[in-house]
Amino acid sequence: MIFLFLSSFIISTISTVILKKFGDKYNLCDFPIDEKLKIHKKPIPFLGGLAIFLTFSLLLIIFSYLKNFFNWQILAIIFAGFLVFLIGFWDDLKWKKIGIKPEKKFLFLTLFSLLATFSLFFVDIKIQFFLNNFLTFVLTFIYIFALINAINYQDGIDGLAGGLVVISLIGFIVLALIFKNILALAISLILIGAVLGFLIFNFPPAKIFLGDSGSYFLGFILAVLAMIFSKPYNFFSFLGPVFIVGVSVFDGIFTNVRRLIQGKSIFLGDRAHFYDRLYLSAKFSILETLLICYSIQVIFTLIGILIFCL
């Protein structure tokens, strides 16, 4: 399993370097056009998510084939992950340049999340809280949709979203070892290696970004891990992963509630997230902001593990 992590880390690092150069050469970059939402001052490639997705998909296929558990579930995870990645990549590539209406983006994100949910549901990967199939499907969709947006919300300063995901993945690795779940362990180790390979170049000052494609994909895989560990009628197995994902979930809930109370659209971005309040309002440095957020995430993840094991 250590070899699996190291392979992922090395491939992701090399892929990130190559894609950074490719992004710079062909202007596949996040341009700081909207000064209210952008804190970087120059164009930065948004292909980090592509490096993570390719590394994850390749190694999961190879590992599962070598271990003789390559099956429809593996294919469904990769296919559904590709759908979620694709809608984010199209946003990075086209929509951000033409200024698509947030409502239209929301509609497409909902549609692709539904398609991803259908793909997983077909191979029995779901939040197994209810016995009723319709309620189970709805809850699974909500979990996917909520987590891909929750991670995307955290991709506002260098190193934050990826770092929070790494801490969450450590939590899922602990659960995989406790409950001897090989699939969850393989997914977590591959993804944590891929994210760390990317983080080398995303840590302040960032040389490459996740893009919406990367943050959506990371949120999706965290949702898949939550599904793998879910148990019928077990509230603790439902709540535990919420805390393991931690800061991203609670900031996402607070953000949408705050916007609704203030009479603002939940579809329009702002600079009032928890990390924004630390960095822009309280005037902590980026590194101090990361340290505070990482520390809180560790606490949430530990609580999530304890809740799940009750």
Q: What is the pLDDT of residues 114-142, one digit of tens each?
A: 999 999 999 999 998 888 899 999 999 99
Name the pTM for this structure: 0.94
| Residue-range definition of the domain harbouring residue 63 | 2-308
pLDDT of res. 172: 97
pLDDT of res. 38: 65
pLDDT of res. 65: 86
* pLDDT tens column, 237-282: 889 999 999 999 999 898 888 887 887 767 677 777 889 889 888 8
The residues, ordered by sequence, that sit 6+ positions from 191 with a Cβ below 8 Å of its Cβ are 8, 52, 56, 165, 169, 218, 221
pLDDT of res. 33: 67
Token pair for 120? 């997983």
Task: Please state the three-class secondary structure of the chain as a single string.
Answer: CHHHHHHHHHHHHHHHHHHHHHHHHCCCEECCCCCCCCCCCCCEECCHHHHHHHHHHHHHHHHHHHCCCCCHHHHHHHHHHHHHHHHHHHHHHHHHHHCCCHHHHHHHHHHHHHHHHHHHHHCCCCCCCCCCHHHHHHHHHHHHHHHHHHHHHCCCCCCHHHHHHHHHHHHHHHHHHHHCCHHHHHHHHHHHHHHHHHHHHHCCCCCCCCHHHHHHHHHHHHHHHHHHHCCCCCHHHHHHHHHHHCHHHHHHHHHHHHHHHCCCCCCCCCCCCHHHHHHHHCCCCHHHHHHHHHHHHHHHHHHHHHHHCC
Residue 41 has pLDDT above 90, yes or no: no
pLDDT of res. 280: 83
Range from 23-32, 198-207, 209-218 carrying the lowest mean pLDDT: 23-32
Range from 67-81, 85-99, 123-137, 229-243 carrying the lowest mean pLDDT: 85-99
Contact criterion met (CB below 8 Å) for 240 and 184: no
* pLDDT tens column, 281-302: 888 999 999 999 999 999 999 9
Radius of gyration of the chain (CA): 18
Total number of domains constituting the chain: 1
Average pLDDT of the segment spanning 144-172:
95
Q: Whole-number mean pLDDT of the chain?
A: 91
